[in-house]
Amino acid sequence: MSERFYVNSPLAPGSVVLSGAEAYHLAAVCRARPGDVVCLFNGDGAEYPAVVSAVAKKQVSLEVTAKQSPIRERPFRLEIAASLPKGDRADFLIEKLTELGVTRFVPLRTERSVVHPRTTKLERLERAVIEASKQCGRNVLMQIEALSEWADYAQLATLPANRFLAHPAGGSPGKVTGDVVFAVGPEGGFTDEEVAIAQAASWKIVGLGPRTLRVETAAIALAALA
Ligand code: SAM
């Protein structure tokens, strides 16, 4: 696979100019030269092979030669809602969920959550989605939603019918097929009241074995189950 670069604008065969962080990456880090072939994507589901035509300090000009639509997305919706872990562990979580083809990530505010991401943190996580998509070949970006209160989120009418809340006392998730949402609690776990809210809204309570997993391990294991 050619080196991939993200463009935050519509793409089509013809000329395009890259600027900002991606131009820096292509020009200074990859030392692009006219004639080099790269791959551009913008999250619309396609990818666009392109030939470098000129390299300046802060801009790279390219000629898009085609539009290709390889299938790299799951054929169903896979949503993960989790209380974000601290610091770099949140970036790690987002990177892995992107690689695993998660459709949407919803950060949760629960009784025992300690991380309540604001706009700048969410923007940083969106950047992590782009970096992971460049590396893994996804042409659709995993959506990162704004912070949601657990009680509101758990009762949303728009959630898939397959809804699972991870809790150490839960049973086996069994085989999971079709649109699905998994919820993971904070380091201190979901409270009994939060579990009761889930049960009243038809969430199945599932366990992941006898060991206590970190938030990111539980979320990644659940994404891999789907
Ligand atoms: N002592 C906490 C509890 O009892 O829930 C542990 C919390 S754990 C560090 C963080 C979250 O990961 C939990 O709220 C749960 O969603 C998920 N999790 C961790 N280990 C799990 C397991 N063995 N089975 C199911 N979920 C687990």
Task: Provide CATH code, domain 4-64.
Answer: 2.40.240.20
- What's the pLDDT tens digit per position in 104-147? 999 999 999 988 888 888 999 999 999 999 999 999 999 999 99
pLDDT of residue 117: 82
Any atom of ligand 1 within 6 Å of the Cβ of 187: yes
Q: From the alpha carbon of 212, which atom of ligand 1 is closest?
A: 20
pLDDT of residue 1: 64
d(CA 157, CA 138) in angstroms, rounded, equals 29
Roughly what angle, to the nearest 10 degrees, separates helices 119-136 and 88-99?
40
Question: Which part of the chain has CATH 3.40.1280.10?
Answer: 78-225
Closest listed residue to residue 185, CA positions, set 79, 108, 86? 108
Rounded distance from Cα 171 to ligand 1 centre (Å)? 13
* pTM, two decimal places: 0.94
Question: Which part of the chain has CATH 2.40.240.20?
Answer: 4-64
d(CA 7, CA 19) in angstroms, rounded, equals 9
Any atom of ligand 1 within 6 Å of the Cβ of 213: yes
For residues 15 and 118, which has the higher predicted lDDT (pLDDT)? 15
Helix (H) or strand (E) holding 181: strand 180-184
Which of the following CATH numbers is that of domain 78-225: 3.40.1280.10, 3.20.20.70, 3.40.50.720, 3.40.50.300?
A: 3.40.1280.10
